[in-house]
Amino acid sequence: MTIKRGRFITVEGGEGAGKSSNLAFIRDLLEQSGIEVVFTREPGGTALGEDIRDLLLGHKHTGMASDTELLLMFAARAEHLARLIMPALNEGKWVLCDRFTDASYAYQGGGRGIDINRIKQLEDWVQKGMVPDLTLLLDLPVQTGLDRAGQRSEPDRFEVEQNAFFERVRATYLQLAEQNPSRFRIIDAAVPLPQVQEQIEIVVRPFIQAQSKADE
Ligand code: Z5A
């Protein structure tokens, strides 16, 4: 019997968009359909990747050059793909990932101003054409997200950025969604959580059905 490749789902969004609040909900939807799910995050997902995450989010290297930040994101991603994502997909498991390469376009491209073409070169090199099958973009006004996130613990190295940075991040995400309509679904994340989850369910259930049909 040939094993069908699993599917790769990513969840993206700006500060306080509610990724953490909704990832468990998405995992439950998948598992209820009998799908084996590997749940992971970026930067991180492997032992080495989590060490890189600490370097990226911590305050030890404040003033890190933007190129260094981008390269570290892709170093963690290369490890993540090689050690966790590709093996899981090849075993037929589905991978649900909290952020992926769209975040590099949004934060390092839009936020830090790195040329998109250079990010694309790294994407091609590290991913060799591999892209998510579905990306949920939790979108909300920047200030709403910052107000939500502000109620939490100490800010990390990204969370200390100014509003203009996060406006560029949001604009880049929306642009990516417009450029990749078959992969992206935009979820209005400014509404109360049950309404966000209703929208997610409307996207994820038909996606699961379509994929199981494709595998028949
Ligand atoms: N990064 C990058 O620059 N380049 C890359 O390539 C990658 C990442 C992969 C990783 O942080 C950082 O790395 C990130 C981008 C950068 N920058 N930052 N900051 P992360 O993804 O781990 O952290 P985060 O973006 O800050 O996510 P978070 O802290 O997990 O936030 P969230 O998951 O989106 O939100 P939440 O914790 O679920 O919700 C925030 C609060 O709002 C919480 O109190 C909830 O109870 C509340 N909430 C959630 N939904 C609602 C609704 N609908 N109504 C009301 N209140 C709500």
Query: Among the atoms of ligand 1, which is closest to the Cα of residue 155?
Result: 19
Residue nearest to atom 44 of ligand 1 (CA): 148
Does the model's pTM come out above 0.95? yes
Check whether 20 is labelled as a binding-site residue.
Answer: yes
Choice between 207 and 159, residue whose per-residue pLDDT is larger: 207
> What is the per-residue pLDDT across 2-51, written as a single tens digit (0 to 9) for each?
779 999 999 999 999 999 989 999 999 999 999 999 999 999 999 999 99
How many A from CA of 204 to the centre of ligand 1?
A: 20
Choice between 161 and 8, residue whose per-residue pLDDT is larger: 8
Residue in the block written with tokens 């800010």? 155
Q: DSSP letters of 61-110?
A: TTT--HHHHHHHHHHHHHHHIIIIIHHHHHTT-EEEEES-HHHIIIIIII
In this predicted structure, what is the pLDDT of residue 151?
65
Is pLDDT at 152 greater than 80 in this prediction?
no
Ligand 1 site-directed mutation target among 10, 12, 19, 118, most atoms within 8 Å of CB: 19
How many A from CA of 119 to the centre of ligand 1?
A: 22
Ligand 1-lining residues (CB < 6 angstroms)? 13, 15-21, 42-43, 73, 98-99, 103-104, 107-108, 148-149, 151-152, 156, 158-159, 189, 192-193, 196
Q: Which tokens belong to 173?
A: 């995400």
Which CATH number is 8-215's, of 3.30.70.580, 3.40.50.300, 3.40.50.720, 3.30.465.10? 3.40.50.300
Class of residue 13 by CB neighbours under 10 A (exposed 0-12, middle 13-18, buried 19+)? buried
Residue nearest to atom 54 of ligand 1 (CA): 192
> What is the per-residue pLDDT across 164-195, written as a single tens digit (0 to 9) for each?
999 999 999 999 999 999 999 999 999 999 99
